[in-house]
């Protein structure tokens, strides 16, 4: 099994390369000259996109081929203060350059719209803004010229005290999305609400790939092991929306006993090693997204540590090989 590793949005190694610079709405509305304020937002967005490209160059230098973009590349987009604003004339060039780099080096990239995007919601206004947010993520990927292998990963959402009806709403709302959005979605199990088995059943029903978060699974399950669910999870990547991609998992380690759901600075190699060994024979390729405070530093340390363990062979600066 070939395993690649990636990390989320920002580097702790490359300095002054934030892809998430912003301006507060309060500050925006304080500016007298709206046109000048909008130009400032556009400059921040260009800087965020350029810093993302710098991160990808850093990744390439370290053999890292998997990466999650920040969802805050364009500050305040979608806010009512910016109604009617179209930043794309200015950002088309920078986005295209970023996407070209991704394609040129065969990188796997994704977004993870944050928890304000909730398709299980019973509130129409929340559903509308969620759909608008998903559409905006697709728009960015299209501006980068990336095909449907570039995904947006989301959770199913809240349960509102009635999980079956929340599930039913999710499926119904999913059907309202445009093809271009649905083809780019993946669903991830949650640490509080929809667990891995429940998320998997939704993925199978609506035909989207599932991202297994092994840490979320450890703190939210009905007693079944991740290994026992894996064959079905892996199979969701064989469907039409899997687009020939390797299955993807998220890994992180508990912050502490007092806060088992929080993310620690680094990722412990032991539990991951155990999981990888259990699926290696049946899974030719796997991509692992590291969700740790120490970002790319944690990635390199994890790959280093894994490489010293049973049956693991290092096959690159940010890749290992197991079994077979």
Partner DNA sequence: ACCTGTCAAGTCTGG
Partner DNA sequence: CCAGACTTGACAGGT
Q: Is 259 in the site for DNA (CB under 7 A)?
A: yes
CA count, 13 A, side-chain hemisphere, 25: 8
What is the distance between the alpha carbons of residues 264 and 211, in angstroms, rounded to a whole number? 20
Q: Which is nearer to DNA, 78 or 311 (CB)?
A: 78
> Least distance (Å) from DNA to the CB of residue 220?
12
> Least distance (Å) from DNA to the CB of residue 85?
11
For residue 92, count other CB atoms closer than 10 A to its CB. 11
> Which H or E run contains 287?
strand 285-290
Phi, psi of 120, deg, nearest 5 = -85, 0
> Which H or E run contains 202?
helix 196-206
Q: Is 158 in the site for DNA (CB under 7 A)?
A: yes
Q: Is 78 in the site for DNA (CB under 7 A)?
A: yes
Q: Which is nearer to DNA, 91 or 280 (CB)?
A: 91
User: What residues numbered 1-60 form the site for DNA, per CB under 7 A?
Assistant: 10, 18-27
User: What residues numbered 95-134 form the site for DNA, per CB under 7 A?
Assistant: 114-116, 118, 120-121, 123, 125-126, 129, 133
What is the distance between the alpha carbons of residues 214 and 287, in angstroms, rounded to a whole number? 13
What is the distance between the alpha carbons of residues 285 and 297, in angstroms, rounded to a whole number? 23
DSSP state of 193: S
Q: Which is nearer to DNA, 18 or 148 (CB)?
A: 18
Is the distance from CB of 195 to CB of 221 less than 8 angstroms? yes
Q: Which is nearer to DNA, 177 or 234 (CB)?
A: 177
Q: Is 262 in the site for DNA (CB under 7 A)?
A: yes
What is the distance between the alpha carbons of residues 250 and 248, in angstroms, rounded to a whole number? 7
Looking at 13, 50, 62, 160, which residue binds DNA (CB under 7 A)?
160
Q: Is 79 in the site for DNA (CB under 7 A)?
A: yes
Cα–Cα nearest to 304, from 294, 314, 293, 290: 314
Q: Is 77 in the site for DNA (CB under 7 A)?
A: yes
Binding footprint of DNA, residue count (CB under 7 A): 40
Q: Which is nearer to DNA, 90 or 235 (CB)?
A: 90
Give the footprint of DNA on this chain (CB under 7 A): 10, 18-27, 71-72, 75-79, 114-116, 118, 120-121, 123, 125-126, 129, 133, 157-161, 193, 259, 261-263, 293
């Amino acid at each position: 099994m070939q395993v690649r590793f990636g990390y989320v949005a920002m580097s702790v190694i490359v300095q002054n390369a934030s892809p998430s610079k912003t301006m507060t709405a309060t500050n925006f509305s304080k500016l007298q000259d709206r046109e000048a304020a909008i130009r400032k937002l556009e400059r921040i967005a260009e800087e965020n996109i350029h810093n993302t490209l710098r991160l990808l160059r850093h990744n390439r230098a370290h053999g890292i081929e998997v990466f999650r973009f920040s969802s805050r590349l364009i500050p305040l987009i979608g806010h009512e203060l910016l109604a009617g604003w179209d930043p794309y004339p200015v950002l088309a060039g920078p986005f295209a350059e970023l996407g070209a780099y991704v394609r040129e080096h065969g990188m796997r990239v994704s977004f993870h719209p944050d928890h304000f995007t909730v398709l299980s919601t019973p509130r129409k206004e929340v559903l509308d803004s969620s759909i608008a947010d998903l559409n905006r993520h697709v728009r960015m990927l299209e501006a980068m010229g990336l095909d449907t292998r570039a995904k947006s990963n989301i959770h199913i959402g809240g349960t509102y005290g009635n999980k079956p009806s929340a599930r039913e709403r999710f499926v119904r709302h999913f059907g309202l999305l445009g093809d271009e959005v649905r083809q780019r979605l993946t669903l991830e199990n949650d640490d509080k609400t929809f667990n891995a088995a429940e998320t998997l059943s939704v993925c199978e029903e609506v035909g989207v790939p599932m991202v297994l978060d092994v840490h979320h699974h450890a703190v939210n399950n009905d007693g079944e092991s991740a290994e026992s669910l894996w064959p079905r999870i892996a199979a969701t990547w064989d469907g039409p929306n899997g687009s020939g991609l390797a299955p993807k998992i998220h890994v992180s380690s508990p912050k502490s006993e007092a806060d088992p759901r929080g993310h620690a600075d680094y990722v412990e190699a032991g539990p991951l090693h155990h999981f990888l060994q259990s699926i290696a024979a049946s899974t030719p390729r796997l991509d692992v997204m590291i969700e740790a405070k120490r970002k790319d530093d944690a990635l390199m340390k994890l790959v280093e540590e894994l490489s010293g363990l049973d049956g693991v062979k290092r096959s690159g600066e940010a890749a290992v090989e197991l079994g077979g």
